[in-house]
Each structure stands twice: as structure tokens, then as C-alpha cells.
Amino acid sequence: MNDQDQLELLTDNLNSYVKTNYELIKLEAAEKTCNLGSKLIVNLFLLLVVVFLLLFLSLWAGFYLSIFFDDNYTGFIIIAGFYFVLGCILMISRTRFIEKPIREKMVRHLFNRD
């Protein structure tokens, strides 16, 4: 076998290796995208359930407090104030309690450290 034949064989093998690697990367990206998409859909559904739960619990608490204080509006104002304070606390500490954990979870998921 001469040098030209060996060079062609090496080029063919290298070309095959690059194509195989490219396909592997595509398949891994597709798998991670599907996993991330399915988790996103499940988490959005759970979020919707939690939002409805909080909505109905808040309405119940508002009506209950309104009956307790014998006023139509006081209970709902108290509940709104509670959510306002909670929103302010979350706004101030959003990096620590929301953004950072989400970012870390996404990185762990992308690098298969779940």
C-alpha cells in the first residue's frame, strides 16, 4: 500500500468519524431538547394547578375574613396586602431565591447531573 492509498483511507476514515460525531451531537441535542420540553410542559401544568389552588384559597380567605370583620372589603384588602408584601419580598430577593436555583437546575440538567 503506497502513501497515496493510505492518505485516502485516512481521509475516508476521518470523514466518516466527523459525520458520525455530527450525528451523535444531533441526537444528544434532540434528546436534551425533548427532555427539557417535556419537563417544561409538566412543570407548567403543575404551576397552573398551584395557581388555581392559590386563587381559590385566596378567595376563600378573603370571604372568610370579610365575614369575620363583618365588612365586604376588609378581608380582600388584607389578602391583597399579604400578596403585596410577599411580592415585595420576592422582588427584593429574586436573584437568590428564584433566578439562581433555576439557573443551577438548568445547568445540572444540561450536563446530566440530575
DSSP string, the chain: --HHHHHHHHHHHHHHHHHHHHHHHHHHHHHHHHHHHHHHHHHHHHHHHHHHHHHHHHHHHHHHHHHHTT-TTHHHHHHHHHHHHHHHHHHHTHIIIIIHHHHHHHHHHHTT--
- How many independent structural domains does the chain possess? 1
| Residues 43-60: tens digit of each pLDDT | 999 999 999 999 999 999
Q: Is the pTM of this model over 0.75?
A: no
Q: What is the reported pLDDT for 113?
A: 62
Per-residue pLDDT 10s for the chain (114 aa) are 688 888 899 999 999 999 999 999 999 889 888 888 898 899 999 999 999 999 999 999 999 999 999 998 999 999 999 999 999 999 999 888 888 888 888 888 777 765
Residue 30: which domain range?
3-110
